[in-house]
């Protein structure tokens, strides 16, 4: 890492430069009494920014939008989106803005973006604001995902504004400063096509290629390549969500990136008991975005990306559809490879065997039928490798079918002849002890937003940002919600 730790961001704003017509200049609202609640020091370091300066009044003024730093070109990005299947041609950053693109200490280009920073020309009826609770929630969920090794946008800071926000009740307001490989969304392409036509789609596609898949830039079939690459990164992303029991909750095309990073942590949550029908969002009545539907929804969204790209893929429209269809078919292979590979690792299996898909599916049927806690089950499985099956069997109320499965599984693991301690350690490196459990997240957010006490949130962050490292005294963070917590619902009034 280059030794650069400054009080100025190294901006280079390619979106503003390349894509006039795809944004409106924006000015953040003034926060009357900014107060930094969380600052992500390690992320600041990656951006080449001195974390103690960020925490100073000058730094906080930048993080909350009171001051545009030197070199920034604040703008609200335009995008469309299919929301729960219905097309909205004009969404865009209604309460957010792109401050600029920072070249980080590794030379990577990263968006610095503020959310909750006031109304923009895309605000429609919205107030442009965000409440402290949901912004802290995005911080915790994103950092947990990052620590789990899942591509994601990341929170740099949450700053309370001192401005009230009216939702069902009056809540304290906040701005989230967020860092992303880019904020290009499927909806960005949809906006280009709906409002400008193919020329703009091409400019957006060239911009996406330059940022995320630069090796395609000189290829004659680069737009087909772009589709193939987004299919790949999104297949891998959703497979990694599935492996940890993450439910995004609002997989509209405006909430799906070209980079393959998870974005827009609204009504998302981690599943406790394994059930493909798990839905947390109070507005997802039909279960469109249920845990088990996520891979097919990603494919549906990818088809929405393919549509505006078709005229760029081939001059002959039938040939173009053929090529795009073949690219879309690549999803299944990419998804299966990542999912099955990930499941093998979770089960302590190194090589591939043709019986593995059945081994996985039969286990999931047991977990579903017996309503077993997903995270705890996989974590405890490693002790079974060394011969102690009791700990994991204790999680299964009626363990007959589990025991039958476990016999097959043990045969598979021991058949590979690897040292049991090595296998168990490898399993513990991929099966987390700590995820942001819903009851703990709620408890921590309540303490932070009502009592101004950030201690529970910081403790939770400590656990979920080292998710594979079991620590003494951390039992509380590993346990599922008590029955009294009831069925968890998330609300969209973020």
Q: Which residues are catalytic?
A: 254
Q: How many residues bind ligand AMP (CB under 6 A)?
A: 16
Q: Which helix (H) or strand (E) holds 79?
A: none
CA gap 238, 295 in Å, rounded:
6
Site string for ligand AMP, 244-273 (x = CB under 6 A): ------x----x--------x-x-------
Spatial neighbors of 11 by CB under 8 A, at least 6 apart, are: 69, 70, 71, 72, 73, 100, 101, 102, 103
Q: Choose among Mg ion, ligand AMP, none what residue 41 binds, the Cβ cut-off being 5 to 8 Å by kind.
A: none
- Let me know if 285 is exposed, middle or buried by CB neighbors in 10 A (0-12, 13-18, 19+): exposed
Q: Are 344 and 352 in contact (CB under 8 A)?
A: yes
Q: Which helix (H) or strand (E) holds 425?
A: helix 420-428
In this structure, what DSSP letter does residue 287 have?
-
Considering only 104-112, 119-127, 443-451, 461-469, which stretch makes contact with ligand AMP by CB under 6 A?
119-127
Q: Choose among ligand AMP, Mg ion, none what residue 172 binds, the Cβ cut-off being 5 to 8 Å by kind.
A: none
Least Å distance, CB 93 to ligand AMP, is 5
Q: Choose among ligand AMP, Mg ion, none what residue 127 binds, the Cβ cut-off being 5 to 8 Å by kind.
A: ligand AMP
Joined tokens for residue 298: 């990603």
Q: Which of 152, 255, 257, 301 binds Mg ion (CB under 5 A)?
A: 255
* CA 98-104-109 angle, 5° bins: 55
CA gap 280, 294 in Å, rounded:
13
Residue 264 lies near Mg ion (rule: CB under 5 A): yes
Write out the binding residues for ligand AMP, residues 419-458 only, by CB under 6 A: none
What are phi and psi for residue 116, nearest 5 degrees? 95, 15
Cβ atoms within 10 A of the Cβ of 56, count?
A: 14
Least Å distance, CB 264 to Mg ion, is 4
Among 267, 263, 264, smallest CA distance to 237 is for 263
Q: Which of 85, 89, 126, 199 binds ligand AMP (CB under 6 A)?
A: 126
Q: Which of 82, 129, 178, 376 binds ligand AMP (CB under 6 A)?
A: 129
CA gap 199, 130 in Å, rounded:
35
CA gap 8, 242 in Å, rounded:
39
Among 212, 206, 213, smallest CA distance to 192 is for 206
CA 296 to each of CA 235, 316, 491: distance values in angstroms, whole numbers, following the listed order: 10, 28, 23
Least Å distance, CB 248 to Mg ion, is 11
Considering only 217-225, 262-270, 312-320, 441-449, which stretch makes contact with Mg ion by CB under 5 A?
262-270
CA gap 491, 167 in Å, rounded:
11
Write out the binding residues for ligand AMP, residues 67-106 only, by CB under 6 A: 91-96
Q: Choose among ligand AMP, Mg ion, none what residue 129 binds, the Cβ cut-off being 5 to 8 Å by kind.
A: ligand AMP
Least Å distance, CB 252 to Mg ion, is 7
Residue 138 lies near Mg ion (rule: CB under 5 A): no
Q: Which of 123, 194, 447, 454 binds ligand AMP (CB under 6 A)?
A: 123
Q: Choose among ligand AMP, Mg ion, none what residue 128 binds, the Cβ cut-off being 5 to 8 Å by kind.
A: ligand AMP
Least Å distance, CB 185 to Mg ion, is 8
Least Å distance, CB 277 to ligand AMP, is 22
CA gap 369, 243 in Å, rounded:
18
Least Å distance, CB 28 to Mg ion, is 18
Q: Which of 127, 356, 442, 479 binds ligand AMP (CB under 6 A)?
A: 127
Interface with Mg ion (CB under 5 A): 255, 264
Q: Which residues bind ligand AMP (CB under 6 A)?
A: 91-96, 122-123, 126-129, 250, 255, 264, 266
């Amino acid at each position: 890492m280059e030794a650069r730790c400054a009080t100025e961001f190294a901006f280079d704003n390619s979106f503003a430069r390349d894509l006039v017509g795809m944004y409106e200049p924006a000015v953040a609202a003034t926060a009357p009494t900014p107060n930094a609640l969380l600052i992500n020091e390690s992320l600041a370091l990656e951006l080449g920014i001195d974390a103690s300066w960020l925490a100073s009044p000058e730094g906080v003024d930048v993080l909350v939008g009171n001051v545009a730093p030197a070199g920034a070109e604040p703008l609200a990005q335009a995008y469309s989106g299919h929301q729960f299947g219905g097309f909205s041609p004009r969404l865009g950053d209604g309460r957010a803005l792109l401050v600029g693109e920072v070249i980080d200490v590794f030379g990577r280009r990263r968006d610095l973006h503020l959310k909750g920073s006031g109304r923009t020309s895309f605000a429609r009826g919205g107030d442009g604001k965000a409440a402290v609770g949901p912004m802290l929630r995005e911080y915790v969920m994103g950092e947990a995902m990052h620590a789990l090794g899942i591509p994601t946008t990341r929170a740099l800071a949450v700053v309370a504004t001192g401005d009230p926000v009216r939702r069902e009740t009056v809540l304290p307001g906040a701005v989230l400063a967020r860092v992303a490989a880019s904020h290009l969304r499927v909806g960005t392409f949809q906006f280009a096509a709906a409002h400008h036509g193919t020329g703009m789609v091409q400019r957006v596609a060239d911009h996406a290629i330059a940022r995320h898949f630069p090796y395609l830039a000189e290829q004659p079939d680069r737009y087909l390549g772009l589709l193939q690459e987004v299919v790949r990164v999104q297949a891998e992303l959703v497979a990694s969500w599935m492996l940890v029991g993450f439910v995004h909750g609002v997989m509209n095309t405006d909430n799906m990136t070209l980079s393959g990073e998870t974005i827009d942590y609204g009504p998302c949550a981690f599943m406790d008991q394994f059930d493909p029908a798990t839905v947390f969002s109070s507005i997802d009545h039909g279960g469109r975005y249920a845990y088990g539907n996520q891979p097919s929804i990603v494919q549906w969204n990818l088809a929405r990306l393919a549509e505006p790209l078709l005229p760029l893929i081939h001059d002959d429209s039938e040939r173009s559809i053929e090529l795009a269809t073949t690219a879309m078919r690549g999803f299944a292979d990419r998804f299966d490879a990542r999912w099955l590979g990930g499941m093998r690792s979770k089960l302590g299996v190194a090589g591939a065997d043709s019986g593995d898909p059945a081994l996985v599916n039969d286990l999931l049927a047991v977990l579903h039928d017996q309503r077993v806690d997903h995270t705890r089950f996989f974590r405890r499985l490693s002790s079974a490798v060394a011969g102690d099956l009791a700990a994991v069997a204790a999680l299964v109320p009626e363990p007959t079918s589990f025991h039958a499965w476990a016999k097959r599984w043990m045969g598979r693991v021991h058949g590979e002849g690897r040292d049991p301690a090595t296998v168990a350690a490898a399993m513990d490196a991929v099966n987390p002890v700590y995820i942001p459990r819903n009851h703990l997240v709620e408890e921590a957010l309540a303490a932070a937003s009502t009592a101004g006490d950030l201690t529970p949130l910081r403790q939770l962050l400590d656990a979920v940002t080292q998710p594979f490292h079991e620590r003494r005294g951390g039992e509380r963070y590993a346990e599922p919600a008590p029955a009294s917590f009831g069925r968890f619902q998330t609300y969209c009034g973020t």
